Amino acid sequence: MKCIELSNVKYQASNEKQHVTKIIKSEQKRSQILTAASQLFSEHGFKINMDQIAKAANVSKQTVYSHFKNKDELFETCMQTKCAERELSPAAFDMDAEVGDELVKFGVKFQDLLLDEQSRQTFQNAISQANTHPEIASIYLETGPQKTTKLLADYLQSKIESGDLTLSTSSSPVIAARQLLLMFHGKSAYWGFFGHDSGESQDERLHYTRECVALFLNGNQPR
């Protein structure tokens, strides 16, 4: 009887091991597909097909479809992944540091993010599909701009509650965050959207960001 029980235990363990191995291999294939698709979408836009993706990922087209039901879903997943990889986190702020200094640091990081080549390609892909696939643009807005706005708004709210910041002009932390983020874009980001170098140096960008923060803080001083 003990031999039978031991045999059953070994059989179950073997099955579990095979199951885990199968899951790992499946995830590896999915990762290969996403990596290949992201690269192809970045280089060629939405016009690529599933055959090209399968070839680049070194998997069969059937394997691609076993993970993603169509190209739209794969494109959306790639966009979500790209945004998540490059999103700013709450760790971007030092809650004990002076507000102005932290806003300048955040502004520089935000502009660096906008100038990142992969970020620009993700943005351009979302724009290119806005008319035919509006849900893709919605995903970009939700996982990119809206998350960044909330992150900055939450920081501003915490500083208002601690008494380190007053909003006398901006009507809310969310509005204030939008105002700052739009200012932070600057010439560099807007030129970059069109694939052009603004010609600004790091020092010039930093000086511009400091002026944005000074304008914001001066405009929100108690009256």
- 10 Å Cβ neighbour count for 78? 24
* Helix pair 145-161, 134-143: axis angle to 10 deg: 30
Q: How far apart are CA 158 and CA 172, in angstroms?
A: 12
Number of domains in the chain: 2
Range of the domain at 55: 2-68
Is the pLDDT confidence value at 22 over 80? no
pTM of the entire predicted model:
0.75
- CATH number, position 17: 1.10.10.60
Domain-embedded: residue 78: no
What mean pLDDT comes out for the span 24-33?
Answer: 86
- CATH number, position 104: 1.10.357.10
DSSP 156-169: HHHHHHTTS---SS
Name every residue whose Cβ is closer than 8 Å to that of residue 39 and which is 6 or more positions away in sequence: 56
pLDDT per position as a tens digit, 88-124: 788 889 999 999 999 999 999 999 989 988 888 888 8
pLDDT per position as a tens digit, 171-191: 899 999 999 999 999 999 999
Is the pLDDT confidence value at 134 over 90? no
